[in-house]
Structure formats: C-alpha cells, structure tokens
Amino acid sequence: MDVKTLCLGVLCHGEATGYDIKKLFESAVSLFFLAGYGSIYPALAELNERGLVLCEAQAPPGRPDRKLYRITETGRATFRDALCCTEPRHKVRSEFLVLLYFAQLMPPERLSEVLDQRLGEIEETLGQLDTVERLEGDTWSAGEKFVAGFGRTILEASRDYVRDHRHQVEDSATQADPAADSAHRSGSGDNGRPDAAGGPIESLTRPAGRRNGRPAQDQRQ
C-alpha cells in the first residue's frame, strides 16, 4: 500500500489538512508504515487531480492559509478496492537487526551502545503510544485499538528480548579491531591482496565451475 492509498484511508475518517495527516503519520501510523513528510503533499495533489479527494483553500482569520481535503465517493470506493486487493504482507526492515547480525565484528563498546540506543527508542515509542492512547483511545475504532495493541505487544516483546539476551552477543563481541579482523577473515596478506586460495568473499562471488579465475575444465587438462 502506497502513500496515496493510505491518505485515502485517513480521509475516510473525516476531512483533514496535509498537516493533520502528517501528524497522524508520525504517531499511530508510524507503528506500521513509514512515509516521509515530503511525500504527503504530492500524493494529495495527485488524488485531487484524479477526483479522489476535494481540496478547499481556506484563510482562517489570524491564521495561516491552509488546504482542507475531503474524500469523494470515488475515492472511498477506490480505498475499499485497495483493502480487498492488498496482500497482508508483514515486511521488516531493521538497521538494528543488520547491525546485530554482525555483532561479533563490532567493538564491545559500540555493541553496547547499539543495544542501549534500541532500548531507549523502544521506551520512547511506548511512552508516545501511552500518551496518544490516554488522550484519544476512547475514540479509537476496533481496528485502531487492534493495531495499537499489536504494536505495543511487539515493542514490549522486543524490549524484553533485548534485555534478557543482550549478554549473548556482548560476550561474543570481538576485542580486536574489526578492520584487521575482516582482513584476516578474507585471507588478505601483508600486501592487502587475497592469498592464492582466495578468501570467503571471493569464493561466494566466483562463478560456478571456475577455480582460480579459470574454467574448471581447463584445470582438468
């Protein structure tokens, strides 16, 4: 589901300005979808051109001009179609997990910093969720409550897992310089070039059936 479709979904709840949609994206929606602020207004402009939303320019007394968006019946039908056609994929893109995958190559102090930072971010997000739920929870739909509860469960489970298992990676973190360790693992000699046998990276990238840069059949002759 893209930003345009998600904007339609937000407007199904009622008219809103681009700023209103941005704030919603930054709070509740950010639990399951990341959209840059710069992508919202182009999306709304395209939806308006397609007749899926209407845009009303307003000039409130003593306040900056603004544009108020409301969904049309065509836009509402388009969003319903998207709900029926979108596959329920659950993708995870995590720089944190990428770093932890290579935990054994990080200096211990850097690894502890990464773990502490992630725990801090989780606690901050839980605090924001607490605030939003306290202020707006009574007005949430069943779907909004489900998503908030799902997000809270994932966050709390992640926090508890990091706390309970961080020692596993911290104990294995290398004390050596990661660059030197990497060079050693790749089979580099003093001149910085791979040895005759080739390192693990070369083994992974060498085409099948080739050895030492020559086709396997040539080596059999």
Tell me what pLDDT residue 81 has: 96
Residue whose structure tokens are 């709304």: 44
Give 36-46 pLDDT, tens digit per residue.
667 888 999 99
Nearest CA among 82, 107, 89 for reference residue 182: 107
Residues of the chain with pLDDT under 70: 27-37, 174-221
Tell me what pLDDT residue 92 has: 75
pTM, whole model, 2 decimals? 0.65
| Three-state DSSP state, 154 | helix
Tell me what pLDDT residue 118 has: 96
| Three-state DSSP state, 211 | strand
Cα separation of 9 and 143, whole Å? 12
Residue 199's Cα: distance from chain center in Å? 33
| Three-state DSSP state, 205 | helix
Residue whose structure tokens are 């939003």: 132
Tell me what pLDDT residue 14 has: 92
For the record, the structure tokens of 89 come out as 């994929």
108-117 own/partner pairs: CB under 8 Å, 24+ apart: 108/170, 108/173, 108/175, 111/169, 111/170, 111/173, 112/170, 115/162, 115/166, 115/169, 115/170
- How many CB atoms are located within 10 Å of the residue 186 CB? 15
Cα separation of 121 and 144, whole Å? 22
Tell me what pLDDT residue 154 has: 92
Give 81-91 pLDDT, tens digit per residue.
999 998 888 87
Kindly give the pairing relationship between strand 210-211 and strand 214-215.
antiparallel
Cα separation of 155 and 12, whole Å? 28
Cα separation of 100 and 118, whole Å? 11
For the record, the structure tokens of 37 come out as 């602020």
Tell me what pLDDT residue 31 has: 64
Tell me what pLDDT residue 192 has: 47
DSSP state of 215: E
Tell me what pLDDT residue 195 has: 46
